[in-house]
Chains A and B, each alone.
Chain A
Amino acid sequence: MISRAQRLLFWSIVWFCIAILSVPTIIVVGASVTAGNIITFPPDGFSLKWYGAIAMARDLRQAFGRSVIVSLICLAVSVPVGTLAGIALTRFRLRFANALQVYLLLPFTIPLIGSGIGMMLVFGNWGILGSVWPVGVALAAINIPFIVWSVSSAATALDGDLELAAASCGAGRVETFLHVTLPGVMPGVITGGLLMFVLAMTEFLVSLLLTDARTVTLPVQIYNNIRSIITPDLAAISSVFVVIALLAVWLLDKLVGLEIFLKSK
């Protein structure tokens, strides 16, 4: 049915897309195992010495540690906030629901440079600029629609009669929430939490604006190092991100299945 010409054209475009999406990643991982001292591809012999080098590098290790802390804070803020909001948007009849949605989408519609500069000014006024934890809160604020979206799509699928059934069996509001509603939306909470964590690990621009030399996170550290000198240790640290991404994609596929993103609403 699909003609040969169409198949040929479309598949060559698909292969081109796969190439531009994947080749840089493959080359970064390849370059990280070089035995030489400069970035080359194919690598100049195999060695893991650059992984040893990044494990020893204090600045990279500390930046990695701060990225993990920031992501955990982002998770601790966004999971409760996003879960409650996602449930509220679907399980409750709210007035001005449309205005509410537009408002909750602001983190996506305000350009990141605007959000970042704005929070830099606000945190500066509050005197908390220069600590690590506000970065986590900031990343929760800019990515919150992701978890609200994933929780509310899980809550839409949950049958509201289950909550009424629990209540009529004598369960109070707390009990209904903990034993019926929360387990029901848990797949959405886990998916959203996963997205929030990985996006916080890799977030760059807002972290760049909110950190200084003492609180720099890993993506910002990589950016600063690229501007000075490109050595294979950066390829090694980048490969850490590739591993995180592989884990995240695998988990996402296990939890909800990647095909869910193809569905039309």
Chain B
Amino acid sequence: MRKSVKRFSARIPLRLFESQPDERRKDPVMTRESDTSPFPYPLRWRIMDGLESALDAVWPRSMSRYSGWALVAPALLLVGILVLGLANIAESSLHTLDRSTFLPSEDYTLANYQTVADSATYWRVMWRSLLGAALTVVFTLLLALPYSYVMVRTPSAAIRKALLVALFLPFFIGQVVRAYGILIVLGTSGAVNDVLGFVGIGPFRLLFNFPAVVFGLVQYMLPFAVLMLAPALTAIPREIETAATSLGANWIRTFWHVVIPMARPGLVGAGLVVGTLSLTDFAMPAMLGGGSQDFIANAIYDQFFRTADQGLGAALALLLVALGSILVGIAIALFGAGTLGMGGKR
């Protein structure tokens, strides 16, 4: 930035110089020099001027009203791929699989949705996903609320940092590796069964059942929930809790009547995010459920890659997108899109 300032200050005397021919006459040496060899423009200035005039040609200043839209356009196009994808899903959900040729049928029909509605299997998968998501929300919030409370209220910066690192590390490790870790820990010869063996009980079959999937989802969602709750708890002034205590409330009453109501936006937001993400999760049911605990996402995957019934899979996918959008729509209606924090104060 300093370089550019130097450039502006160099340019201003030059302009003054040109506009005052009287002064030039006083110094004949300089006049001759500037007549024969013009001021040596550095290459960087010329490139920059070239860029400026190119921009003026492509996007004249008169169009500056639309500059914002021009800058945001690439992002709109990128997200447009997803919208186009949804349109494709909607289109292929209207074609049934022709069992004789194994090609999608030509005519449009709602038969795939009828198949989903009539199928007991999909209702079971749907209920399992919803139940799994609901249980995940409850357990995750029960764990995340004390965690973020301790993290926000602790006077020690070192403890706060350690608690944050413990959250961010799993977030960056990725779902597959985390699920792999859980597979090792909960396996029949894993650490948990080893500990239980010391006490003299077990081994138990801890994997490939519904509780294992819910446990995996809770472990996966915990960082998201804590990071959404922490700002809400930060916003509660400590003095309000002190006031409640001084009025004779014990900590349970303080927590129940002061902290939880004031943190409600954060709790609802975190609950909705955790609920949507676990409802639509694929990896945890696939890896910790061992094929017997499929969620909707796994059913969709199987339709595309096992049974190759693209239309039915697309119908399921669209239903899941609709279900997810309803949940997110509730979240946005309650808190506004600004909660997820783009744009800024206007």
Contacts and interface: CB of A to CB of B under 8 A. Distances in A.
Contacts of A100: 72
A84 B74 contact: yes
B75 to A, nearest CB: 4
Contacts, number: 350
A235 B176 CA distance: 12
B151 A241 contact: no
A60 interface: no
A202 interface: yes
B222 interface: yes
B258 to A, nearest CB: 13
Interface stretch (B17-25, B29-37, B118-126, B157-165): B157-165
B199 interface: no
A179 B219 CA distance: 44
Interface string B146-180: 11011111000000110111111111111111101
B240 interface: no
A114 B68 CA distance: 30
A174 B342 contact: no
B248 interface: no
Given A17-B147, A152-B344, A258 B191 contact: no
A260 B198 CA distance: 43
A222 interface: yes
A252 B172 CA distance: 11
A104 B219 contact: no
Contacts of A122: 81, 84-85, 88
Contacts of B86: 110, 114, 118
Interface in B328-346: 328, 332, 336-338, 340-346
A109 B328 contact: yes
Contacts of B210: none
Interface stretch (B94-102, B109-117, B230-238): B230-238
5 contacts: A84-B75, A89-B72, A113-B280, A121-B314, A148-B75
Interface of A: 1-3, 5-6, 9-11, 13-14, 16-18, 20-25, 27-28, 31, 39-41, 77-78, 80-82, 84-94, 97-98, 100-115, 117-122, 125, 137-138, 140-142, 144-145, 148-149, 152-153, 155-156, 166, 169-175, 179-180, 183, 198, 201-205, 208-209, 219-220, 222-223, 226, 230, 234-235, 238, 241-242, 244-246, 248-249, 252-253, 258-259, 261-265
Given A24-B181, A88-B69, A110-B82, 11 more contacts: A28-B181, A105-B340, A111-B280, A117-B304, A118-B82, A122-B85, A145-B342, A202-B175, A219-B174, A230-B184, A235-B184
Closest 4 CB pairs of A and B: A118-B85, A24-B181, A202-B174, A92-B68
